[in-house]
Chains A and B, each alone.
Chain A
Amino acid sequence: MFKKGEQDVLSALDQTNYENERIKILLNEHEMPTHWYNICSDLKNPLAPPLNPGTGEPIGPEDLAPLFPMELIMRMKE
Chain B
Amino acid sequence: MPFLEVFVEEDAECPRCGKLIPKLRKICNDLNVPFYVRLLSTKSVAAYASDSVSRTFDPEWIKQFGLPEHKMKLKELTPILEMFKKYNLKSFPNLVIRWHDGRRMKEIVIRGYDESNEKANKQFLANLYLLLKVVKEVVYRR
A and B bound? no
